[in-house]
C-alpha cells in the first residue's frame, strides 16, 4: 500500500471478504467519505484465482487463506457440517453433517470427489456434485491423519499421520491402505510420479519406491533440493500406444464406431484440457470429448483405437483406473 504523509481516512475496514467489500462500497458510494480497506496476502496473479472453476485448487492452499473452520453456537445449530459452494451455482450451498471437525480435506484431480479426514481415523470420499455431499466411500486409515495429498493422476491418496514422519498410501481404485513409507512431509514431497514411483525425503536423501513399496533408487543429498515430478523421460516414450501391438485376430470396431480409453471425467473444462495437455506431453494421444446430449461433463480420453483390444492394452499400461468408452464416429476432437 502506498501511503502519503498526512493521509487520513474516515473509515478503516480490516478484511476484504464479502462483508468487508460490501461495507466499503456502501461507505464510499456517496463520495463524502475516505475508506481504507485492508486485506492480508499477496497479489492475485495466479491462474486458479482468476479461473472461476479454480476455487477447489485454492480452497486448501495455506498461502491463499487461513483455512479456519466455524464452530456452531451452543443450542442453535446442528453438529459440525461441511459445505461446498460451487461458483457455477453460487446461490446453493451443499451441506453435509460430519459430526466432528475434519482434520484435513483434499479434492480429487477430477474435482468430482472431496476427501475428508476425520478424527476417528477414517477418510470420507464425498460426491461433490450431490446436493447433500453423499458418501462415495469410507476409507479406514491405521490412525488419525493431519494432512492429505492426492496423486495428480488420481491413483493414490497420501495421508500424513498425526504423529511421526511417515506417509500412509491409499489405493483409490480399491479404497484400501496398501502400506506406508518413511519420510518427512514437505510442500513438494512425498509425491507420486506419473509412472507411479513414490518419492520421499528421508534424512538428506530422496528415496524412490516402486508401487510394490520396494526401494528402487536413492539420490544422495537430494532432500536439499526442491522436487517436481514430470511425465517426461528422455530415454524412452512414456507410453507406446498399443495399436501396432494388437494381434491380427483383434476384433475391429463396428462400422462408424470410435473406441477410446477414458482417463477421467469432469464438469471443469479447463481442468480437462489441462489434463489432456499433460498426457500429450507424456507422449500419449489424448484429447477432450465435449458433453454429449444429456451430459454435463467432459471426458479426457486416449485414442481413438482401431480395436477394443488395442484400447484395453493401452489402458492396462496406465497404472490407474480406466474405462473403455465407445461412440458413433464424429469429427475427432482437437
Spatial CA neighbour of 137 closest among 122, 121, 124: 124
Q: Is the pLDDT of residue 236 over 60?
A: no
Lowest-confidence range among 92-96, 145-149, 222-226, 257-261?
92-96
Spatial CA neighbour of 284 closest among 217, 221, 195: 195
Q: pLDDT-based confidence at 312, cuts 50/70/90?
A: confident
What domains are there in the chain, each with its CATH number? 8-40 (no CATH), 47-182 (2.130.10.10), 242-328 (3.30.70.1070)
Distance CA 137, CA 239 (A): 31
Lowest-confidence range among 18-32, 93-107, 161-175, 291-305?
93-107
Which three cell numbers, joined as nine digits, stand for 180? Answer: 506406508
pLDDT value, residue 181: 95
Q: Is the pLDDT of residue 79 over 70?
A: no
Q: Is the pLDDT of residue 221 over 90?
A: yes
Average pLDDT of the chain to the nearest whole number:
77
Q: What is the mean pLDDT of residues 147-171?
A: 91
Question: What percentage of the chain carries pLDDT values higher than 70?
Answer: 71
Q: Is the pLDDT of residue 251 over 90?
A: no
pLDDT value, residue 201: 95
Q: pLDDT-based confidence at 68, cuts 50/70/90?
A: low
Q: What is the mean pLDDT of residues 57-85?
A: 55
Q: What is the mean pLDDT of residues 218-243?
A: 71
Q: pLDDT-based confidence at 143, cuts 50/70/90?
A: very high
**Sign of the C-alpha dihedral, residues 203, 205, 211, 212?**
negative
Question: What percentage of the chain carries pLDDT values higher than 90?
Answer: 25
- In three-state form (DSSP H/G/I as H, E/B as E, the rest C), the secondary structure along the chain is CCCCCCCCCCEEEECCCHHHHHHHHHHHCCCCCCEEEECCCCCCCCHHHHCHHHHHHHHCCCCCCCCCCCCCCCCCCCCCEEEEECHHHCCCEEEEECCCCCCEEEECCCCCEEEEECCCCEEEEEECCCCCCCEEEEEECCCCEEEEEECCCCCEEEEEECCCCEEEEEECCCCEEEEEEECECCCCCCEECCCCCEEEEECCEEEEECCCCCEEEEECCHHHCCCCCCCCCCCCCCCCCHHHHCCCCCCECCCCEEEEEEEEEECCHHHHHHHHHHHHHCCCCEEEECCCCCCCCEEEEEEEECEHHHHHHHHHHCCCCCEEEEEECCCCCC
User: What confidence tens digit (pLDDT) does each residue in 92-124 have?
Assistant: 556 667 777 888 988 887 667 889 999 999 999
pLDDT value, residue 26: 87
Q: pLDDT-based confidence at 31, cuts 50/70/90?
A: confident
pLDDT value, residue 142: 95
Q: Give the list of residues 6+ apart from residue 207 with CB closer than 8 angstroms, or none.
A: 181, 183, 199, 200, 215, 217, 218, 219
Distance CA 177, CA 281 (A): 31
Amino acid at each position: 500500500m502506498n501511503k502519503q504523509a498526512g493521509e487520513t481516512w474516515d473509515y478503516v475496514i480490516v478484511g476484504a471478504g464479502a462483508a468487508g467489500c460490501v461495507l466499503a462500497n456502501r461507505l464510499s458510494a456517496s463520495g463524502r467519505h475516505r475508506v481504507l480497506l485492508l486485506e492480508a496476502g499477496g497479489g492475485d496473479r495466479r491462474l486458479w484465482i482468476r479461473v472461476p472453476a479454480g476455487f477447489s485448487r485454492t480452497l486448501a492452499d495455506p498461502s491463499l487463506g487461513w483455512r479456519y473452520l466455524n464452530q456452531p453456537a451452543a443450542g442453535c445449530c446442528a453438529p459440525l457440517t461441511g459445505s461446498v459452494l460451487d461458483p457455477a451455482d453460487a446461490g446453493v450451498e451443499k451441506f453435509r453433517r460430519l459430526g466432528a471437525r475434519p482434520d484435513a480435506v483434499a479434492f480429487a484431480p477430477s474435482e468430482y470427489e472431496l476427501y475428508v479426514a476425520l478424527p476417528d481415523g477414517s477418510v470420507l470420499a464425498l460426491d461433490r456434485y450431490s446436493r447433500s455431499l453423499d458418501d462415495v466411500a469410507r476409507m479406514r486409515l491405521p490412525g488419525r491423519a493431519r494432512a492429505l495429498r492426492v496423486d495428480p493422476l488420481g491413483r493414490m491418496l497420501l495421508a500424513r499421520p498425526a504423529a511421526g514422519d511417515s506417509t500412509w498410501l491409499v489405493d483409490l481404485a480399491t479404497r484400501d491402505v496398501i502400506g506406508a513409507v518413511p519420510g518427512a512431509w514437505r510442500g513438494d514431497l512425498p509425491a507420486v510420479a506419473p509412472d507411479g514411483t513414490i518419492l520421499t525425503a528421508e534424512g538428506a536423501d530422496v528415496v524412490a519406491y516402486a508401487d510394490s513399496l520396494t526401494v528402487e533408487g536413492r539420490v544422495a543429498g537430494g532432500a536439499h533440493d526442491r522436487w517436481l515430478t514430470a511425465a517426461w523421460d528422455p530415454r524412452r516414450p512414456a507410453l507406446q500406444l498399443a495399436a501396432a501391438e494388437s494381434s491380427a485376430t483383434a476384433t475391429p470396431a463396428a462400422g462408424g464406431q470410435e473406441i477410446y480409453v477414458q482417463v477421467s471425467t469432469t464438469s471443469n473444462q479447463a481442468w480437462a484440457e489441462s489434463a489432456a495437455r499433460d498426457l500429450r506431453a507424456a507422449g500419449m494421444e489424448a484429447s477432450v470429448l465435449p458433453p454429449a446430449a444429456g451430459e454435463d461433463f467432459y471426458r479426457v480420453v486416449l485414442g481413438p483405437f482401431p480395436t477394443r483390444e488395442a484400447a484395453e492394452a493401452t489402458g492396462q499400461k496406465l497404472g490407474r483406473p480406466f474405462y473403455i468408452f465407445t461412440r458413433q464416429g464424429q469429427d475427432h476432437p482437437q
